[in-house]
Amino acid sequence: MSWEDSVRKVVPYVAGEQPKQKDVIKLNTNECPYPPAPAVAKLAENLDTDAFRLYPDPDTTPIVTALAEYYGVKKEQVFVGVGSDDVISMAFLTFFNNEKPILFPDVTYSFYDVWADLYHIPYKTVALKDDWSIDVEGFKQENGGVIFPNPNAPTGLYMDLEYVEEIIKANPDVVVMVDEAYIDFGGKSALPLLEKYDNLLVIQTFSKSRAMAGLRIGFCIGNEKLIKYLNDVKFSFNSYTMNRPSQALGAAAVQDDAYFKEITGKIIATREWTKKELTRLGFTFPDSKANFIFASHKSVPAADIFNYLRQQNIYVRYWNKDRINNSLRITIGTDSQMQLLIAALEAYLG
């Protein structure tokens, strides 16, 4: 017997690369190419650094209040965490606590199985259909909980709310989590369904549509009882998860709705232009409603294109994994970044 026998062993999630050099066109981690709202920069310049002596508000009141107002829900229905990764991780720990396997798609956000392993939660994956869509029927088997992103990652495919509701309706005895990290790029949020279902948790993030991945802000909205249970677990884990600047700056971002709509609108327009160009160059992809496109080329292997783009200092994401090893996930950048990407692909693919 050695101490190593009692180690909690996990195969960790591999995050996308954050290159050190500055001249990279970074289309590999679905960040926003535009800066956060102007009010965020203004407030950041005037941060009260003396207050850093003090612990932050454990209830994250500024940001919870701003989000409750923005989404028209009660403060008691909002939970904030350090990125939606933190929110989802806490939610797994809180709600997926029984012997039955939880369900999620086989091709999806690759952190779900890592958290399940970490917390010893049994899980089963539901295979996407051949057109990459989520198989709603597969989520009607007995289970200990459900999570899926909408739009799904890394496919970008959005599922109409009627199907989201069908999954929730089929699972009244477990918590159903809809991970809406990419919902602000053209999809409809499941938030209105909260009125009908007390077992629904809708999770969103400031990392993409609010251009604040570096501050690590995520949140979820659900029935008051769900949020209370979630807070009980959070306060048994770490009371002060979110730091002072993130709480203040996050609240400022929510208050500038015009800017939010402007940048998400720009990203949507750039995405639609990029789709046409990729099609012209011989790529196919599921029709994305996210800030990325999951593309494969009709004749050139994804791994070759990935390596070529990297040499050109254009970073996209590639996984050498079953089912997805011939696709590249390309984040939507600015118009000029996407023009450079297309020009580079054109030169390579001839």
Contact set with ligand PMP (CB under 6 A) = 83-85, 109, 149, 153, 179, 181, 205, 207, 213, 218
Structure-token pair, residue 272: 């639609």
Shortest Cβ 305–ligand PMP spacing (Å): 22
Residues whose CB is less than 8 angstroms from the CB of residue 318 and which lie 6 or more positions away in sequence, other chains included: 302, 303, 306, 327, 328, 329
Shortest Cβ 66–ligand PMP spacing (Å): 17
Shortest Cβ 331–ligand PMP spacing (Å): 11
Tell me whether residue 84 or residue 270 sits nearer to ligand PMP (CB atom). 84
Tell me whether residue 211 or residue 248 sits nearer to ligand PMP (CB atom). 211
CA distance 349 to 116: 41
Compute the half-sphere exposure of residue 124: CA atoms within 13 Å on the CB side of its CA: 13
Q: Contact, 344 vs 24, CB < 8 A?
A: no
Shortest Cβ 6–ligand PMP spacing (Å): 30
Tell me whether residue 221 or residue 345 sits nearer to ligand PMP (CB atom). 221
228: amino acid identity, one letter? K
Tell me whether residue 167 or residue 344 sits nearer to ligand PMP (CB atom). 167
CA distance 325 to 226: 38
Tell me whether residue 203 or residue 314 sits nearer to ligand PMP (CB atom). 203
* Concatenated DSSP letters of 248-264: HHHHHHHH-HHHHHHHH
Question: 222 pairs with which residues across the strands?
Answer: 201
Using CB atoms within 10 A of its CB, is residue 327 exposed (0-12), middle (13-18) or buried (19+)?
buried
Return the residue nearest ligand PMP (CB atom).
83
Shortest Cβ 182–ligand PMP spacing (Å): 7
Shortest Cβ 211–ligand PMP spacing (Å): 12
CA distance 237 to 231: 10
Tell me whether residue 25 or residue 178 sits nearer to ligand PMP (CB atom). 178
